[in-house]
C-alpha cells in the first residue's frame, strides 16, 4: 500500500482547504500538491511545498547581472541563457519539498546528494511497516561484464523465479524475527522485555521501505535529476527521478525545458573529443588508436555520437 489510510486522510484534508496567498504561485505545481504519485511496488513521491517559479529565476538573474541581461528578450530566453552558460544561483531561488517513500537501498544511494535537507522516518522511535521492494521479473538481470555498477543480460525465467523466492522468503523471515524481538509478549502470552527498536532494526534487509521529507533548491535538484534520470542510472532510483521530472516539468516549465535540452538531452565533450569530432567533420577516419583516448573514453565518445 503506497499511502496509508492516515496519510490519505491528511492529504484529503489539506487539499480540501485552499487558502488565498500573495506569494508566487505555479499553477502546474498546485496541481501536484499533496498528490502521491506511485513508484515501484509500495513507494511514492508527493509534492508537499514549493517556493518560486520561472519568474523567480529571472527576477534573481536580473538583480544579480543587471545590464548584462538586457540583450535577452524574454524570460524563457534568459533562462536558456543561464542554463547554457552554467549559471547556478538564479536557479537556487526556487525550492521544492517532497515526501518520498522508497526502499532503504535506494535511499542510501539517494543520500549521496548532500545538498538537500532530509528528515527520515525514525526506526529508533517507530516500528517499520512490513513492506519490501520485490522487483518485477523483467528487472532481474546478471552482473554486467563491462560495467561494475550495472546490469547485463536478463536472467532466465527459472533463475528469476528462484531469485524472487529468495527475496520474498528472506524479507518475510527477517521481519518475523524483527517483530518477535521487539514484542513485549512471549509465545505463551506472558509479558517479556522486548529488544530496543534501535537494535532490532539492524536485522532488517535493505529492501524494506523507509520514508523521508526531502527539500532541495532547483539548481541542486537539476544536478540530481541529470544523474538519476539518465538512462544509465539504476532503474530503482531512475523511476523516482522520472516521477520528480514530471512534477518539475509542470512547476517550472521554462527551466525544465532548458534543463532537458542542455543537460538531459545534451552532452559534454572533452578537449580530445571535440578535436576528434572536428577531424571527423573534416572527413578524416578517426579510430580509438588515433584518437588519443582510452578505450573507455572512446566507448563513451561513440555513445555520445550514437
Q: Is 113 annotated for ligand binding?
A: yes
Under 8 Å between Cβ of 164 and 131: no
Marked catalytic residue, from 46, 80, 228, 263: 228
CA distances from 83 to 68, 70, 104, 294 (A): 15, 17, 33, 30
Q: Is 46 annotated for ligand binding?
A: no
Q: Is 217 annotated for ligand binding?
A: yes
Q: Is 80 annotated for ligand binding?
A: no
Cell 582510452 appears where?
294
Q: Is 121 annotated for ligand binding?
A: yes
d(CA 62, CA 69): 7
Q: Is 228 annotated for ligand binding?
A: yes
Q: Name the residue among 91, 92, 50, 85 with its Cα closest to residue 71.
A: 85
d(CA 92, CA 129): 35
Q: Is 223 annotated for ligand binding?
A: yes
228 catalytic per annotation: yes
Q: Is 124 annotated for ligand binding?
A: yes
Q: Name the residue among 117, 107, 177, 166 with its Cα closest to residue 140.
A: 166
Q: Is 109 annotated for ligand binding?
A: yes
**DSSP assignment, residue 137?**
G
Q: Is 112 annotated for ligand binding?
A: yes
**DSSP assignment, residue 241?**
H
Q: Binding site for dUMP: which residues?
A: 109-112, 120-124, 201, 228
Residues making up the binding site for FAD: 89, 112-114, 120, 217-219, 223
Feature table: binding site: 89, 109-114, 120-124, 201, 217-219, 223, 228
Active site residues: 228
Amino acid at each position: 500500500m503506497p499511502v496509508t489510510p492516515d496519510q490519505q486522510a491528511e492529504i484529503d484534508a489539506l487539499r480540501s482547504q485552499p487558502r488565498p496567498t500573495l506569494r508566487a504561485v505555479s499553477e502546474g505545481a498546485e496541481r501536484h500538491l499533496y498528490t502521491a504519485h506511485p513508484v515501484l511496488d509500495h513507494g511514492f513521491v508527493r509534492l508537499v511545498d514549493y517556493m518560486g517559479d520561472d519568474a523567480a529565476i529571472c527576477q534573481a538573474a536580473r538583480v544579480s547581472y543587471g545590464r548584462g541581461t538586457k540583450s535577452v528578450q524574454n524570460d524563457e530566453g534568459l533562462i536558456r541563457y543561464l542554463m547554457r552558460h552554467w549559471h547556478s544561483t538564479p536557479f537556487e531561488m526556487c525550492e521544492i519539498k517532497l515526501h518520498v517513500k522508497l526502499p532503504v537501498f535506494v535511499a542510501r544511494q539517494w543520500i549521496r546528494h548532500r545538498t538537500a535537507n532530509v528528515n527520515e522516518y525514525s526506526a529508533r522511535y517507530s516500528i517499520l511497516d512490513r513492506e519490501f521492494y520485490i522487483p518485477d521479473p523483467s528487472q532481474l538481470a546478471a552482473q554486467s561484464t563491462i560495467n561494475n555498477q550495472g546490469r547485463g543480460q536478463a536472467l532466465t525465467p527459472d533463475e528469476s523465479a528462484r531469485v524472487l523466492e529468495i527475496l520474498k522468503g528472506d524479507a518475510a523471515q527477517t521481519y518475523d524475527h524483527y517483530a518477535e524481538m521487539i514484542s513485549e509478549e512471549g509465545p505463551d502470552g506472558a509479558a517479556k522485555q522486548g529488544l530496543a527498536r534501535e537494535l532490532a532494526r539492524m536485522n532488517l534487509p535493505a529492501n524494506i521501505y523507509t520514508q523521508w521529507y526531502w527539500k532541495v533548491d532547483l539548481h541542486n535538484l537539476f544536478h540530481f535529476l541529470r544523474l538519476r534520470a539518465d538512462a544509465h542510472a539504476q532503474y530503482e532510483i531512475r523511476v523516482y527521478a522520472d516521477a520528480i521530472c514530471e512534477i518539475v516539468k509542470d512547476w517550472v516549465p521554462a527551466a525544465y525545458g532548458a534543463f532537458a535540452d542542455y543537460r538531459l538531452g545534451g552532452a559534454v565533450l572533452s578537449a580530445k573529443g571535440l578535436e576528434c569530432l572536428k577531424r571527423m567533420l573534416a572527413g578524416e577516419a578517426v579510430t580509438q588508436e588515433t584518437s588519443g583516448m582510452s578505450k573507455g573514453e572512446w566507448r563513451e565518445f561513440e555513445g555520445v555520437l550514437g
